[in-house]
Chain A
C-alpha cells in the first residue's frame, strides 16, 4: 500500500509541471460604464502557481483575487488547475488593454495574452457621467523645489443621488510629497444650474525633485445608494424613501477617476541667493525678544527667536546671530509646531546668554534668509540689535563669569557614624514579656470575661422572659430559705407545695399528696423517693388536721423535706 502511495506521489510530482499553461480570460469584452467584468487567470496542469502580479492599467481597478483549485483523475488521466479570479471595474469609458499577466510556476514564468476591453456608454452611463465626476484643484501648476502648495480633490455627486461618502482613495504623486487629510469635507455647489453634493479631500504637495511631475491619476470609490436590479424605477440612482424602507436599495461603490494634473517643479534660482541662505522656502516672519534686558554681569538672558509663516517649517534652519563674543552661550532649545498638511508652521528657539562684562551693550542682529515662491525672489527677515543695560556684578566691579558656573561650589557634607551615647539608656527587661504566664493570663482574661458576660446576659434575659425557667431555677434556693425559718407542719407543707409548684410550674394552691402520683411518678420519681414525699405530706396533714402529734417531729419532718428537695434537685422533672 505504502509503495503504491510513493509511486502515486512520484507520478504526481514528476507530472506536476509537465504540461503547464496559463490562460487569462474575461467573461465579457464589452460592458457599459458602471459595470464590472470578471478576469480569470487559469493555470492548467498544476496547483502550485504563485499569485500573478497584475500590471497597473490607467482607470481600471482590480479587486481580488479569489483562488479556485481543481483536481481530477479520469481514466488514468490526471488534470489539475488553479484559477485566480479578479473583479475589474473601469473608471471611465473607452477602450482598455489588460496587458500580459505573468505567473511564476516552479521557477518558470508563463505569460498570458493581452485582453481587450471596451467600456461603452450604457443606458445608465449617460446619467452616471452627469451625476458623478471628480477633479483635482492645484492653485499653481508651477512650483519651486521645497515649496508647499495646497491641493484639493473634489468629488461631485448630483444632489438628488444619495451620496454616503468615499470607501477608497488611491493616487499617484511620485516626487510631489503628497499628504492629505483623512476627514472628508462635504458641501454643495451649483454647476450650470445643477446642484451637486461635493466631497473634498484636502491635501498638500511639497515637491522633492525638479522636473515635470504628475499629480494623479486618482481613483476614488464613491458610495452611492442605488436601487436593486429589477426595481420599478430606472437604474441606478433613483431614490425613494419606500425603497430604502423596504430594502429595495443597496449601497454601491462607484469608481471615479481624476485625471493626472502635470506640475512643473523648478529649482530654486541661483540669482540673488544670499550667502546665509539655509533652504527656507515660504513666507516667513521673524520675532525676537530678550528678557531681561537690564541685568548684572553673570545674570542669564533668555533670547527667544520665533519664526512663523506659510510654507514647510521643516526647511527653516536656525536664524543667523551676529557675534556673541561678549556672552557665555548655552545650547539652544527648539520647539516646532505645524499643521497637519505642513502648509503653515512655527519654530521657537530659546537660548540662554550670560553677559561676561559691562562692555556688552546689545544683543546682536538676527537674520533669516528665505525664498518667497510667490514673489519668486529671495528675502531676508532681519531683527535689529536689542539694547542691553549690563551692570557690574557683586562687589561693585566687573566680574568675568567663567563657564557660567556657580561662584560658590555645591557644599559637600561629610559623612560618618553618629557619636557615642553618653549614658546606659533604659534598662533592658530581664525576660521577654511575651510568653510569660502573666502575658497569657492577660490574653485569656478578656476572652473569658466576655464569654461570662454573654452567658450572664442570656441567663438574666431568660429569667426575665421565661417564667417556668425562672420558677424552676429559683425553686430550691427559695425552698431552702423558707425551710430554715419554718417552725410548724403548716409552714413545712407550704414550703413543699411552693417547691413542687415552682419545679413543675403549676399553681401552688391545689398541691396535695396526689400530685406525687399525678406529676412526679410519670416524670420518673417513684420508689423510695415517692414514698418519702408521700410521708412528708402525710405527716404534715396528720398534724394539721388530726390535731395530734404526728409520727415525725417538726424537726424531723423539716429535715426530711430538706433531703427530699435535695434529691428532687438531682432529677430532671
Chain B
C-alpha cells in the first residue's frame, strides 16, 4: 500500500468522519426530543431541546411547542420570540407565537398602542439584524457606486443620482432598523414575563406599592438592571420594578 499516494484519501475520510460526528450530536438529540414529544413526554423533550447547542430557530420553535404542551405558556412565548429573531419570516413561528399570546390574552398588551408603532415594529422585526446589516451595506455600496459613476459619466447624471437617492433612503432606513434592533438589545433588552403573574412596583423593594400587574407572556423591555430587580417597561409605556426571576431576556446574557 502506497501511503503517500493514498494519504489525501485518508485525510478526506477522516475529515468526513469528523464532520459527521460533529453534526451527529445535535441532530440525534433533536430527533430523540421530537420522539419524546410525540409520545407525550413534553418535559423530557424540553430538557433535551434545552441541551442542544447551538440552538437554531427550529430548536427554539420545538422547545416552545414542548413548553406550550407543558402549560408553560410564558416560556413558550419566550422560545418563539427567540426563534423569531433567528427566522423572522417563518410562518409557523409567527402563528404559534400569536396563538400562545392569544391563549394568555396578552396579544393586545404586547402590541404597541398606536397603529404606526405596530406597523414600524412589524417592518423592523421582519428582518434579522444581520439581514438589515446586509441591506445597509448593499444600499451604501450602490449609492457610492452610482455617485462615483455619475462623476465620470455626466450624461447619466439624472438616472444615477436617482438611483443614489433611492439607495441612500434604503441605507438610512436600514441603519434605523439595524440601530433599533442592535442598540435596542444593548440599551433596553427585550424580555418576557415567565412567572404566572408578577407585580410591577414603584421601587425596587418588596413592600413598595404595586403600580400594575404583569401577566405571563407579557413582552417588556429592561430599562435598568439592579441584580435582583429589573426596571421594565410594557409596550403601552407603563414602567415598574419587577423581581429578576420573573422575567427572561429574549437574548440570553452571555
Q: Which residues of A contact B (CB under 8 A)?
A: 415-430, 432-435, 439, 442-443, 446-447, 449-450, 453-454, 457
Contact = CB atoms under 8 A, between A and B. Distances in A.
Given A427-B56, A428-B54, A442-B137, A417 B96 contact: yes
A426 B130 CA distance: 14
B124 to A, nearest CB: 14
A435 B143 CA distance: 21
Contacts of B180: none
A425 B57 contact: yes
Interface of B: 26-27, 30, 34, 37, 54-59, 61-62, 65, 68, 86-87, 92, 95-96, 99-100, 129-130, 132-134, 136-137, 140-141, 143-145, 147-148, 151-152, 178, 182
Contacts of B148: 449-450, 453
29 contacts: A416-B99, A417-B65, A417-B100, A418-B92, A418-B95, A420-B37, A420-B61, A420-B62, A420-B65, A421-B61, A424-B27, A424-B30, A424-B56, A424-B59, A425-B57, A425-B87, A426-B87, A427-B56, A428-B86, A430-B54, A434-B130, A434-B178, A435-B182, A439-B133, A442-B141, A446-B140, A450-B148, A457-B151, A457-B152
Most buried by B among A418, A419, A454, A457: A418
A454 B150 CA distance: 11
Contacts of B55: 428
A470 to B, nearest CB: 20
A423 to B, nearest CB: 6
Contact of B57 (A416, A418, A426): A426
Contacts of B96: 417-418
Nearest to B53: A428
Contacts of A416: 99
Contacts of B133: 433-434, 439
Contacts of B26: 424
Contact of B58 (A425, A429, A435, A442): A425
Consensus secondary structure, chain B interface:
helix
B9 to A, nearest CB: 28
Contacts of B27: 424
A417 B69 CA distance: 9
Closest 4 CB pairs of A and B: A425-B58, A446-B144, A421-B58, A434-B133
Contact of A422 (B34, B54, B129): B34
Contacts of A429: 130
A450 B132 CA distance: 23
A233 B37 CA distance: 113
Given A417-B100, A429-B130, A446 B86 contact: no
A419 B134 CA distance: 32
A447 B62 CA distance: 44
Contacts of B151: 453-454, 457
A447 B99 contact: no
Contact of B145 (A417, A426, A446): A446
Contacts of A446: 140-141, 143-145
Contacts of B99: 415-417
A450 B145 CA distance: 8
Contact of B34 (A417, A420, A425, A433): A420
Nearest to B66: A420
Given A418-B96, A442-B137, A453-B151, A426 B144 contact: no
A428 B62 contact: no
B140 A417 contact: no
Contacts of B37: 420
Given A420-B37, A421-B92, A434-B129, A449 B144 contact: yes
Contacts of B134: 433
A127 B148 CA distance: 94
Nearest to A448: B144
Given A434-B129, A434-B132, 11 more contacts: A417-B96, A419-B65, A420-B61, A423-B58, A424-B56, A425-B59, A425-B87, A428-B55, A442-B141, A450-B144, A453-B151
Contacts of B182: 432, 434-435
Given A417-B100, A434-B133, A439-B133, A425 B147 contact: no
A514 to B, nearest CB: 45
A189 B133 CA distance: 88
Nearest to A453: B148
B178 to A, nearest CB: 6
Given A424-B30, A457-B151, A417 B87 contact: no
B26 to A, nearest CB: 6
Nearest to B27: A424
A508 to B, nearest CB: 34
Contacts of B137: 439, 442-443
B144 to A, nearest CB: 4
Contacts of B57: 425-426, 428
Contacts of B54: 427-428, 430
A143 to B, nearest CB: 60
A423 B87 CA distance: 14
A423 B23 CA distance: 12
Contacts of B129: 432, 434
A421 B65 CA distance: 10
A537 B141 CA distance: 55
